[in-house]
Structure 1
Amino acid sequence: MNAPDTTPVDIRAGVELPAIREEIELRTADGLRLVGELATPVDRPPVATLVTLHPLPTAGGFMDSHILRKAAARLPALADLAVLRFNTRGTSSPRGTSEGAFGEGVAERADVAAAMDFVAARGLPNPWLVGWSFGTELALKYGLEHGIAGAILLSPPLHRTTDEELRRWNGSAAPIVAVIPEHDDYLKPDQAAERFAVLPRLRRVDVAGGRHLWVGESQTRRVLDEIVAAVNPSALPLPTTWPPTIATPPAPPAD
């Protein structure tokens, strides 16, 4: 019998690292069934949980939007994180379609609550909300209603979030990080500085060359690095191959 090939492979788009992947359903307080997936480390408990909130479903956002899919594909193995993804109401993906209809970011308040109820029922540790675009609006508007460990905002447009909703975060101890692409379609770094001025404790990360959709492996890695830097910095730097290559220590000097 031939030995298994253990040659390291580059971690790039399409590579799915080992994890326990479970198709799950969430139930909202208004009686809807939302479909999703939970990915957890294979051989150890997670140190924290990413509750991901996808981009605008009416513009093609769903639980498989590429940054969220790659977070679930890589971070359980690379950073000991659980990753929960789900389709908000009325949203479809290969996993299925969540019941209900798009609620303009208002009815989705119940979707966020259903996800957090699931996290609590499973005993998943240290839940961080990770919103992308429209998902950042849900995190900002409703995150403080739950016992979150922190929030990460990827490409926040701030279309639906008011200044008063931003100010509320000043009264929370939960860390909040905004990752702003230089060439964002909706909120560039200078605009973000102005809008987030009412929330001085937010940590803003401006990404040179970044774009709203974070297309390309270099941008994907930068976003995942920023997520891990906030949630489990001891896992940095993230390996770029699997199995991770370990540098061989130099040989001791000869006598």
Structure 2
Amino acid sequence: MEIRAGVELPARREEIELRTSDGLRLVGELALPAEREPVATLVTLHPLPTAGGFMDSHILRKAAARLPALADLAVLRFNTRGTASPRGTSEGAFGEGLAERADVAAAMAFVAERELPHPWLVGWSFGTELALKYGLDHGIDGAILLSPPLHRTSEGELARWRDAAPALVALIPEHDDYLKPAEAAERFAGLPRLRRIDVAGGRHLWVGESQTRRVLDEIVSVVNPAAAPLPTRWPAVDGGDAGESRVSDEASGS
């Protein structure tokens, strides 16, 4: 079976709740490999909720649907404060990227409590701002930035990453609406250790299966390179039959 937009591969999936230091309940989901322990953990941070971003934004949903099975990764998704999705609505109200500091901390506290290994922040658009602002407050292996707009991240916050131990990777779409490759090169010039990947033909929303596969391949090549490149069919040729996959009723955002 070809792996495409609505395919959800086998995993242990658990609806979870996060509790913030200011007393809010955030809704989310944890997806784990079906029969093995994860080798690393993706803590995903979704696009701008006031522009339709949420934990089911398509790249994050597809990461959770595919990567536990294909790359032995744990994938944590959650709605930041005031954000709604089919999973539910997180309490609170949008905090312009400031109050969300507590949301990131709640997610990382959950990772620590569950002893999930090698956490990486994967931010998309607005989520990259949260990763850059607050990622270094936590014991992460690194952060992967998808379409970073760099609207809310100050130069001082960027500078903290210059000599920081965690790795930093940025995927910059050629046709991004906010930060194209030439501009990204200038804005990130002070971070010589950053790995910048300019994606020819890419767009801010990474729409289409070819762009989805490119993004997920780049994530896996950083976090678990032994699993890259990802197979395009299930079961994988060398992986045997790990159980029946199912096709989600929701195939939006493909």
Range of TM-score over shorter length: over 0.9
From 125, 128, 152, the counterpart of 1:133: 125
Question: Is the contact between residue 87 and residue 98 of structure 1 (CA under 8 Å) also seen in structure 2?
Answer: yes
The one-letter amino acid paired with 1:195 is R
Quote the Cα distance in structure 1 between the aligned partners of 2:101 and 2:192: 25
* Structure-to-structure mapping, 1:77-96, within 5 angstroms: 77-96=69-88
The one-letter amino acid paired with 1:183 is H
* Structure-to-structure mapping, 1:49-88, within 5 angstroms: 49-88=41-80
What CA RMSD, in Å, does the superposition of the two structures yield over aligned residues? Answer: 0.9
From 145, 149, 158, the counterpart of 1:153: 145
Q: Which residue of 2 aligns with 1:213?
A: 205
Quote the Cα distance in structure 1 between the aligned partners of 2:28 and 2:196: 29
* Structure-to-structure mapping, 1:82-121, within 5 angstroms: 82-121=74-113
Quote the Cα distance in structure 1 between the aligned partners of 2:229 and 2:175: 26
Cα shift at 1:245: 2.4
* Structure-to-structure mapping, 1:1-255, within 5 angstroms: 9-246=1-238
Cα shift at 1:246: 4.4
Cα shift at 1:171: 2.2
With normalisation by structure 2, the TM-score equals 0.93
With normalisation by structure 1, the TM-score equals 0.93
Q: Which residue of 2 aligns with 1:5?
A: none
Quote the Cα distance in structure 1 between the aligned partners of 2:228 and 2:170: 19
Q: Percent identical across equivalent pairs? A: 83
Q: Residue by residue, what CA displacement relative to the aligned partner does 1:184-203 show, whole Å, maximum 9, x if unpaired? A: 00000000000001111110
- Give the secondary-structure state (helix, strand or coil) at the position aligned to 1:224: helix
Question: Is the contact between residue 29 and residue 76 of structure 2 (CA under 8 Å) also seen in structure 1?
Answer: yes
- Give the secondary-structure state (helix, strand or coil) at the position aligned to 2:133: helix
Question: Is the contact between residue 173 and residue 201 of structure 2 (CA under 8 Å) also seen in structure 1?
Answer: yes
Quote the Cα distance in structure 2 between the aligned partners of 1:45 and 1:118: 17
The structure having more radius of gyration, on CA atoms, is: 1
Q: Residue by residue, what CA displacement relative to the aligned partner does 1:82-113 show, whole Å, maximum 9, x if unpaired? A: 00000000000000000000000000000000
- Give the secondary-structure state (helix, strand or coil) at the position aligned to 2:81: coil
Q: Residue by residue, what CA displacement relative to the aligned partner does 1:21-72 show, whole Å, maximum 9, x if unpaired? A: 0000000000000000000001110000000000000000000000000000
**Paired residues, what number?**
239
Q: Runs of 4+ in structure 1 displaced over 6 angstroms?
A: none
Note the residue ranges of structure 2 that are not aligned, 5 or more in a row: 240-254
The one-letter amino acid paired with 1:19 is A
